[in-house]
Structure 1
Amino acid sequence: MNHRRARAAHHAHRLRDLHRRILESPVGLGWNRARRMELMHRAMGFAALGFLTLVPLLIVVAAADPASGEGFARWLGEALGVSESSQEEVRDLFGVPDEALQRTTAFGLAALTVFGLTFGSVVQTGYERVWDLPTARWHTMWRHVVWLALLIFALVAFVNNPVPEDAGWLGYAGALLDLIGTFVFFWLSQRLLLGGRVRWRALLPGAVTTALAMLGLRIFSQLVFSPLIASNAVTYGPFGTVLVIQSWLVGVGVVVYGGALVGRLIHERRTERRIRSDFGLP
């Protein structure tokens, strides 16, 4: 009986030790912090608010851009990386851009801008939760204006400089430039929305992981969301396209917040290793 109890105690000790190692591992730390900051909940809020507040503003901005050609539908199609048939469904969903521009009043444009700034505030709150920072004071709201302008500029630059599929090595160079541009945007976004409370060097890993994750999401969209748009449009009509776009926006929210969270973990690991090396610790 004592032998069995000893074996049971030894087994329980090994399980506790394994559980502790998992919790202290990068994966365990990332999981606990993602759960503590309610990552999926924030990503779903990101998608809902993005569709309700940011998309209407981008529709009007894209309609005012003479080089965009097909307006916001083209912007969204390029971001999703979907096929031509799926882009047709997106165009049908968002209608004719000229009508959106002609029917928008100055008051309506101002209201859309306010809604867009609200979305920037949501992104800032998510970044603050990633870094366990208090909410910024009201007088820093000017940063939302700068961030919104930066976002629109980045979208215009990305969509109006597409990479042809048969461009050869130029296509790879263009894709690399898009990746670098995405990295710079998210690096600036974190620094700007956090009000300079986190150093550039600490934000660097998060910008890199977010840019790479956005590239992965675009490839995933080409493989999964593109055929889903075509099939859902037949089954559910325009509502099916909305469901796929909303799912994609949830994925973008996970990438934006999750990339910053992974970046913080990488920064902390690098800092810990540097401290151990400076003090000669194992």
Structure 2
Amino acid sequence: MSGSGGPGRLPPLGRMRSAVRRARAGRHWGRIRDLELWQRSLGFAALGFLTLVPLLIVVSAADTAGGQGFAQWLGDGLGVSPAARAEIERLFALPGQAWRTTTAFGLALLTVFGLSFGTMVQGGYERIWDLPPARWWGRWRHVLWLGVLVGVLYLSAISPPWRDSPARGFVTVAIGTLFFWWSQRLLLSGRVTWTALLPGAVATMLGLLALRVFSRLVFSPLIASSAVTYGPFGTVLVIQSWLVGVGVVVFGGALLGRLFTEQLPRRAPPVEGDH
């Protein structure tokens, strides 16, 4: 007998649902493959360490009262133990000298290289939303985005008023979510609606919180052991690995946001006209 309810057979409606699920899974996997998430995350880590980290060291060195702004921020971001935090502060010791020894040309060069970091992040967002590259006259958005990013990180490194407040976690999550929400809207030149971008911002922030827990469990002991085995170079390797994880979260969170948005009933298309 070969009825539709026989063993190994699905009714027509069940076969249709199975085909839809397979098609969706294939489409999602294709987008992840097309995004080249791992390669983009490696580029994120390389540019972040070679351009953004030196720029943040110079900017945080202006905090003459603290003097350990960047190392403090990096330790908080990693969520590491006091022993690992001490190794990070040793790696970035005497940051105040960076401000006194940096020339105007060196600062300008760091700024130019830092703008390439924004270009790379924008390219990842555009690939996620299947958008063409923005027009060349929109490069001012990279300047604005880099300035706001450095400002947010700088404020978080110089002991903000909410550092010792019970609401510190909520404030940090709220600011981070707003920043990633605004970053997508800015770098995509307003071509995607605010509503469609919100899930990606939330997913990115949740991913960073998960990465912080992972860092506490994995990267923290690695920093302490690598510092003993390889010296400062071992600490650099662990920090570079953490930056790769941040890149995975930034691009992966935005991609999850788009996939989530596509499952919601839409009254208007999420992608708007070119600006």
What is the TM-score when the length of structure 1 is the normalising length? 0.85
Note the C-alpha offset of 1:193. 0.7
**8 Å Cα contact 2:128-2:254 kept in structure 1:** yes
Note the C-alpha offset of 1:58. 0.6
Equivalent runs, 1:1-282 vs 2, <5 Å: 21-25=21-25, 29-159=27-157, 160-161=159-160, 170-171=165-166, 173-271=167-265
| Higher helix content, 1 or 2 | 1
Distance 1:262 1:270 in 2: 13
Distance 2:68 2:168 in 1: 22
- Aligned residue pairs total 262
SS at match of 1:112: helix
Note the C-alpha offset of 1:71. 3.0
74 and 214 in structure 1: CA distance in 2 versus 1, 3 angstrom threshold: same
Identity of aligned residues (%): 59
Distance 1:18 1:67 in 2: 62
Per-residue displacement from partner, 1:200-226 (whole Å, max 9, x unpaired)? 111111111111111111121112111
Which stretch of structure 1 is more off in the superposition, 66-75 or 104-113?
66-75
**8 Å Cα contact 1:30-1:261 kept in structure 2:** no
Structure 1 consecutive aligned stretches of length 4 or more whose deviation exceeds 4 Å: 14-20
SS at match of 1:134: coil
Q: Which runs of 5+ in 2 are unaligned?
A: 269-275
Q: Which runs of 5+ in 1 are unaligned?
A: 276-282
SS at match of 2:67: coil
SS at match of 1:141: helix
Distance 2:43 2:16 in 1: 36
Distance 1:223 1:67 in 2: 32
Distance 2:182 2:214 in 1: 25
Q: What is the Cα-based RMSD across aligned positions, in Å?
A: 2.6
Distance 2:64 2:94 in 1: 14
SS at match of 2:102: coil
**8 Å Cα contact 2:79-2:216 kept in structure 1:** yes
